[in-house]
Structure 1
Amino acid sequence: MRFLYSEVTKAFGHRFQIDPTAKIAWNARGQRLRKSGIPLDTKTGRGVPAEYGWRQVFSLALAYHLLETGITPERCAKLVSFQFGDLIADMASDSDDLGFYVVRPAAFDEYKPKTALGRLVDFPIYKARSELSSIPARATVVIMVDLGQLVDQLCKAFAATGERSETELRKGFDTWLANPGSEAT
């Protein structure tokens, strides 16, 4: 399933409720994300039309969701691109009931010493719904993105602003998730 740039901007405007007066700031954040490599695996330029598959749409949606928490676009791009393939594989193994993408604030600290153990603990991870109790209860804040809800919202936004049905979009996402390499990038 392929999406044109205009479809993506309409759907994201709908999903993230972009106020027309805030569109300039929204576009600037989008440019910073693109310069940082999000959406993943896109090659656009002058005279090349932007066309996205589910991989690009999902990486962009996850980055925009993190932007809403106040993280910089560059940091969002790092967090989303870090082990994105592993995230998709984990989601595919749990596709009946998508879990959560968990980020700890320590992952945002650019100046923290990078030890092998610290890196494994601080970067984003995937947790199935049944594993949520295994997140240590600390005094720190944890940002959790409900991936099932994010996918549902994306499908609803694309259906509301385009010509495809929500069912067709969800089926397309599930097909891509079952075989992420099948979609030409």
Structure 2
Amino acid sequence: MLRALSSDKHILLFLEVLLSFPLAHGDLLSVLLKIYGLPETNRVAMRGRLQHAQKMGFPPGANTGKGRPAKYHAGEVLALGLMFELFQFGITPERAVSLLQYSAKQTIDAFNVAYDIFKRKLHDRAFAIVFPQELDRALGKGGSPALIVTTSSGFFLGDRMERGPRFAAVNVSALLDDVLEAAQSLDLTTREEFREDLRLWLLERGEDGWWLQ
């Protein structure tokens, strides 16, 4: 049956029937609570944060239409995880989403590098280096992205250190590992299912443009 399908995008839709991904909203909440070590009593607060992100259209593609429940592929769970990591640096939800939106290509690049390390089981880590002060200068002015991608084996910031006093580093590889470990511990997926869903999600987003949904 798979041979009769014409593209990876069709395969992604077909696999939704077979695999645990995309996650339903309740399962996503359970994964996020697990990642951040939060008790079940925090579920309502976490749901409120996710609903706020949904109203801002984040992550793109997760909202399936009015009256239909949102579903989250592996990449969209990573995107939400990255948003929550930015919260830890004191970045507001609105600015976090704007930062990821403005630097959408670099965000996908970070996920691609982390996926490649994960797939090949390399002794390396992918990092998203965030420059919050760049956002104010860049928005509406066609400036530099507020996020760059690097790895632990080739850590490089270039001339960005001259552009402001602060930057924040998010270990995207560790985030990917945390998402998978949490989902596995809740019997929501396997390593193979997670890897395949993420692979197809990255292919689709690379073709369509993540923020053009």
TM-score normalised by L of structure 1:
0.77
Report if the CA contact (8 A) 2:126-2:172 is conserved.
yes
* Counterpart position of 1:92: 112
Distance 1:4 1:150 in 2: 20
Residue aligned with 2:156, SS: helix
Matches within 5 A, 1:49-64: 49-64=69-84
Distance 2:70 2:128 in 1: 27
* Counterpart position of 2:23: 3
Q: Does 1:106 align with 2:129?
A: no
Distance 1:114 1:82 in 2: 7
Report if the CA contact (8 A) 1:105-1:140 is conserved.
no
Distance 1:15 1:2 in 2: 18
In structure 2, stretches of 5+ residues that fail to align are 1-20, 118-123, 208-212
Distance 2:100 2:128 in 1: 10
Percent of aligned pairs with the same residue? 22
Report if the CA contact (8 A) 2:24-2:71 is conserved.
yes
* Counterpart position of 1:180: 204
Deviations for 1:20-40, whole angstroms, at most 9, x for unmatched residues? Answer: 454444333222211112122
Cα offset, 1:182, TM superposition: 9.0
Cα offset, 1:80, TM superposition: 1.8
Higher mean alpha-carbon deviation, 125-134 vs 75-84, is at 125-134
* Counterpart position of 2:155: 132
Higher mean alpha-carbon deviation, 133-142 vs 54-63, is at 133-142
Residue aligned with 1:133, SS: coil
In structure 1, stretches of 5+ residues that fail to align are none
- Aligned pair count reads 180
Report if the CA contact (8 A) 1:2-1:52 is conserved.
yes
* Counterpart position of 1:36: 56
Q: 1:106 to 1:164 in 2, by over 3 A?
A: same
Q: 1:19 to 1:48 in 2, by over 3 A?
A: same
Residue aligned with 1:153, SS: helix
